[in-house]
Amino acid sequence: MDSHVERAYAFLDRADMAGERTESSSVGTAVFDDNLPRRLDSNFLRVERETDPETVREEAERLGRRMVFVPDPELGERVVPYFKERGWRINRVVVMAQLREPERTGDLSLVTEVEEPALRAARHQVVTGQPWASPEIMAQLFAGKELIGRRVQARFFAVVVDGEVVSYTDLYQDGTEAQVEDVGTLHEHRGRGYASAVVLAAIAEARKHGAEFVFLVADYEDWPKELYRRLGFDELGYYVKFIAPHT
């Protein structure tokens, strides 16, 4: 595995995708956070060795894990047909790192650092209509951000227009490593460079505080990764998540 990818995965393991406890499985490791059972990124089965898809599904069901995380994309793709036939949602996630200068600039003067609760109204608006965005799940996602802040430094940046947060991002940092996460812009404010501004502002703060490695993850099959390329991010690889149909 590429060293940059290993570095990103290690950061995810101790920050955004960490749980309170783990349990060994015949296919890898199950992650649990009993306080936030509906936050899938804190409750999943990580597949760490070559195996067959039926065994993976049986282990996920035995351990009560509604999400399966396969870091190895080749293994992930081999088991896609099995899970797809059974109604599991397939989510390919690209890992990108800023390894060069951005091609695109942004007006960093528009960006201010805020406390996490200030972003919640905007976060709700951005995910409106998503089948998973119930009040219960959203509450656990917000609580999850507080937990991440106990493991690593968590900071939050926004563009505010007429008193309303219209674009935002999170920054998680631990020494020389940092992750930009959860970038969003209200639909009616898109196309104005706000997303570029908040991402570049977060990166500038991370670099200012010693970050040498800055990465993010994005939907492999959606358009934001094209924006991130213009902001200096290159693809390192991708992983596959499988989400149970009853989730």
Domains and their CATH numbers in the chain: 3-94 (no CATH), 108-236 (3.40.630.30)
Indicate if the pLDDT at residue 247 is higher than 60: no
β partners of residue 169: 157
Place of tokens 């104005």: 192
- 180 HSE (CA, 13 A, CB side): 34
Q: Write the CA distances from 1 to 47, 225, 236, integer angstroms.
A: 15, 21, 10
Q: Decide if 79 contacts 70 (C-beta within 8 A).
A: yes
Indicate if the pLDDT at residue 73 is higher than 60: yes
d(CA 106, CA 150): 30
For 133-147, the pLDDT digits (tens) are: 788 888 999 999 999
Mean pLDDT for all residues in the chain: 95
| Confidence (pLDDT) at 222 | 85
- Is 187 exposed, middle or buried (CB count within 10 Å of its CB: 0-12, 13-18, 19+)? exposed
Q: How are beta strands 177-185 and 111-114 bridged, if at all?
A: unpaired
β partners of residue 96: 216, 235
| Confidence (pLDDT) at 223 | 84
Q: Side chain identity at 206, as an amino acid letter? A: A
d(CA 13, CA 17): 5
